[in-house]
Chain A
Amino acid sequence: MNYLIAAYGVTAVSLAAYTLHLVRERLRARESASRARETNNG
């Protein structure tokens, strides 16, 4: 049973962590884009 939990656990945690990482990256990319726009317009 432990093995079962380990397998699903590792998968779930890894994929969730990766999703969070990507969402954060997207946020960062969007922020730096709008910042660039501001400095160019300013």
Chain B
Amino acid sequence: MRVLAAILWKDLVTEWRSRDRVVAMLVFSLLVVMVFHFALPDGTGREIATHAPGLLWVAFVFAALIGLNRAFAMELENDALAGLALTPMDRGWVFMGKALSNVLLIGIAQGLTAAAFALVFDIDLLSSAGSLALVFLLGTLGISSVGTLFSAMAARTRFREVLLPILLLPALFPVLAGAVEGTMEAIRDGGASFASIQLLLVVDGIYWIICFIGFDFVLDE
């Protein structure tokens, strides 16, 4: 447990000092929102509102990819991956620390992107902010678990920036299915349905367990 806290703290402090990942994620997702504006036909209001959940999550996933690409870059550059792997007993907790810090960073980018989205496309997200936050959190937990695992893998391969999306996106489909549906329900009905939440919880549970165990084999040096 202490390892978890240590890794989490180290990651967040390092990020706070340079803020490079959050800024990169944020700039990128704002640019994506801008691209959507040009990509979609003219017209705010009803039409955009139906597509908004999907678009929002597309932006989130892209931002997450940017952030995750750099998740282990620091360790790689400084040859610190071996150091992380020294204690076999703790590797699972290393994973949790890393993944939770990713949740936080992606979450921040998400919140700001959602705000930008609401402003630019004139959609009311504030009234369902509570349920939205829950859906966002559950979705990000899903993205971060497999994202962290695959980021660690991709970091040790050729073409890592290309490989990460290829590995990650198929694994994200169940997460996105629940998240997009939940977001849509939250915006439309004021609250996500139990089906969506349940799906997200099940997926998150399965993913975190598999990644917790699998991380052991990925960090084996």
Complex contact flag A–B (Cβ < 8 Å): no
